Chain A
Amino acid sequence: MIKKIKASQSEKVILLFLILLGFFVIASFVVIKDKCLFVKNHNPKKINFKNPENIAILNVPCGNVIIELYPNISPNAVIRFKTLIKSNAYDNVAFHRVIKNKLVQAGDLEFGEKNKLDYGKIGTGKSGLGTILSELDGEFKYTKGSVGLARTFKNDTEDSQFFITLQDEPLFEGEYTPVGKVIYGLQVLKKLKYLDNSEYVLRPDFINTFKMFN
């Protein structure tokens, strides 16, 4: 006959402690693993837009970034941006340059695509549509969430690469062609992968899709 042994008070406490510890380990593993856990994902279909024809939806690993484009400020740049978005050119393209709390940059269609990523040349690629002229005369404040076209050292070299600012950047005014502003989902961009010691990201995050709302 097997004798039943009652757990002592201290053994019960230890057991409870181990159960709680196990719970916290599993819970924290889930939280740490899922960087998107506390990020709100905005559903554009639930939002009423004033100018739906100028709304673009950038979908990245943690959700949607909803951008309003400003054709009245930079007409040619917005036409170029819309052309590339409508042709799905930005899908699966890397956020190759990410500076924590400062800006994220993507849109290298030549060397930034998921299956053709070229770390040696990323940031120098072209769209094949040619460059466009800088549009720097419109009144535009580079506040947090501003979207602009990247360029080389010289003006009038804008092509497909774009950046989104994560903080106010007044010095960008008159330097970079603006195309719009993030109206929802800036938090999503703060979760993109970055490196502490480099602006350029190894094994970067990618754009899932980039589409016009209408």
Chain B
Amino acid sequence: MRLFTVVLLAFVFIIPVKANTIYQLIKIPNLEIYELETQNKLKYFYASKPFRLGVQKNIVCFNSDRKILDQKYQLINKNLNRYSANFLKKINLKYIVLCENLSISEINTAGIPDNIMKTLILDVKFNENYFERVIHHEVFHVINDSYKSFFNEEEWIKFNNKNFTYAECSTCSKRLGLDTYKNTEGFLTEYSKSTASEDMAEVFSHLMLKIKKSKFDPILQKKITFIRNNILKIDNNFKF
């Protein structure tokens, strides 16, 4: 026991001081402040060097050119400013990390939400065609993680045709297309068909971008009502 204490103490006192406040707050290394003074109190950081995260260090993201960051920040800020400080507090989102070529286990991804750490990592180089929509898609995952009981997947699955099944996980399916269908048939994109939570996120992100369809099919109408009602349960003043 004495030996254990000595080893533990030796370990504690030889750890170099990491007086990095950002790391202490969100446990992501190599970040610097991009912008702190925003209207909805979101704090923006950027990767100054590549970083790896996760128990298996399987989440990787790289630093980006300042020019790209500045360009994309305008777009991201414009979209995220649509969420009030009060709403962001309710869903536990406070920090936005900007980096490029974000991947999990070598699979590229647009964003990684983490409502426990109040953080959303965004890939600033994600496909331009869907970039703005993807921001809201990832925000929905933060909302969903914070209010699991509101977004009941079993209830959601019942909206679909009985013969339809989602994949086991979003990355274990080849349904990755993000183009909005002309003929929806219950789903807005191919990616909507991957899992229930991705389907919800796609509906939410389309609502946020006000992508109007002259006529939504009845399944999609139900899904839209479900998302709207539950978001309003979180914040009655929420504006789509």
Contacts and interface: CB of A to CB of B under 8 A. Distances in A.
Interface stretch (B6-14, B75-83, B181-189, B227-235): B6-14
Nearest to B94: A174
Interface stretch (A22-30, A44-52, A180-188, A195-203): A195-203
A196 B5 contact: no
A207 to B, nearest CB: 22
Contacts of A198: 12-17
B8 A174 contact: no
B13 A171 contact: no
Contacts of B41: 174
B222 interface: no
B172 interface: no
Contacts of B16: 197-198
B25 interface: yes
A199 to B, nearest CB: 5
Interface residues of A, number: 18
B68 interface: no
Contacts of B22: 171
Contacts, number: 41
A125 to B, nearest CB: 16
A195 B21 CA distance: 18
Interface string B19-32: 10110010000000
Nearest to B22: A171
**Interface magnitude class on chain B:** 10 to 19
Contacts of A195: 13, 17
Nearest to B14: A197
B17 A171 contact: no
Interface in B78-133: 94
Contacts of A60: none
B176 interface: no
Contacts of A102: 19
A172 interface: yes
A20 B33 CA distance: 53
B116 to A, nearest CB: 9
A17 interface: no
B43 interface: yes
Contact of B13 (A172, A175, A202): A202
Contacts of A128: none
B36 interface: yes
B5 A171 contact: no
A197 B13 contact: yes
Interface string A159-173: 000000000011110
Contacts of B5: 120
B195 to A, nearest CB: 29
Q: Which of B8, B17, B22, B94 has the most CB of A within 10 A?
A: B17
Contact of B21 (A100, A171, A197): A171
Interface of A: 99-100, 102, 119-120, 169-172, 174-175, 195-200, 202
10 contacts: A99-B19, A102-B19, A120-B5, A120-B8, A169-B21, A171-B25, A198-B13, A198-B15, A200-B12, A200-B13
Name the 9 nearest CB pairs between A and B, nearest first: A198-B13, A99-B19, A171-B21, A102-B19, A199-B17, A170-B36, A119-B9, A197-B16, A120-B5
Interface of B: 5, 8-9, 12-17, 19, 21-22, 25, 33, 36, 41, 43, 94
